[in-house]
Amino acid sequence: DGGITQSPKYLFRKEGQNVTLSCEQNLNHDAMYWYRQDPGQGLRLIYYSQIVNDFQKGDIAEGYSVSREKKESFPLTVTSAQKNPTAFYLCASSLPSTGWDEQYFGPGTRLTVT
Amino acid sequence: AQSVTQLDSHVSVSEGTPVLLRCNYSSSYSPSLFWYVQHPNKGLQLLLKYTSAATLVKGINGFEAEFKKSETSFHLTKPSAHMSDAAEYFCVVANYGGSQGNLIFGKGTKLSVKP
């Protein structure tokens, strides 16, 4: 089955630690995205990547970093500089031929930092 | 600039009755509009997409939405609610004026379905 996997589903970290969230897709999509979701809010774009070895900041990139060394993988690191890291993180991908804006989402990772 | 406003944060219906989830949009361009659904602790699933072809868009699971330019609305409807429809629904506009890849999400409408 083609799809997007995110691991782990739940992640707990102590304040001051960096943490990396995994996102893998086997849809052969060119573009990948990271969003953050807070209760009662819509999703906000953190970073996106249209091709391997290239990525762009979204609306709330401060305190986050990404890499895109392989087409199928787009890991997100939440650094200690992120002031409010506790949130639900969603990864998505899209294929430009069907429209970059038609995005397919993974199941999400819920990060709790205490 | 693009934006969307979901007019209700919570809608409750009885099983078998119609569903109406309201969304107004603002866009400087001819917009691409979407509805996504999110079940608890899950990712988002695309319900339907409007891209200026037909104003009435049919989606999955019996949902449809009508694009009304004069009212700047894109309301989501379903004739008969099912228990499995209970979820959170997001109205989304593509932000062509901003970063490519930037979808602008409404704050969501939580749909409850009573037996």
Average pLDDT, integer, range B17-32: 91
Q: Suggest the residue from B44, B51, B60, B96 to mutate for an interface test with chain A (most A CBs closer than 10 A).
A: B44
Residue-wise pLDDT for A11-26, tens only, equals 999 999 999 999 999 9
C-beta atoms of A99 and B105 within 8 A = no
Q: Tell me the C-alpha distance between B13 and A103, whole Å.
A: 29
CB-CB neighbors (< 8 A) of A6 in chain B: 43
pLDDT per residue as tens digits for the range A38-95:
988 889 999 999 889 999 999 899 999 999 999 999 999 999 989 999 999 999 999 8
In contact, B112 and B13? CB cutoff 8 Å: yes
Mean pLDDT of B4-17: 97
pLDDT grade, residue A102 (50/70/90)? confident
- The pLDDT value recorded for residue A64 is 97
User: A61-100 burial string, b = 16+ CB within 10 Å, else e?
Assistant: beebbbebeeebebbbebeeebeebebbbbbbbbeeeeeb
Tell if the CB–CB gap between A105 and B43 is shorter than 8 Å. Answer: yes
Q: With a cut of 70, say whether residue B97 has pLDDT above it.
A: no
pLDDT confidence band for B96 (50 / 70 / 90): low
C-alpha separations of B26 from A63, B1, B7, B69, B72 in Å: 30, 7, 13, 10, 7
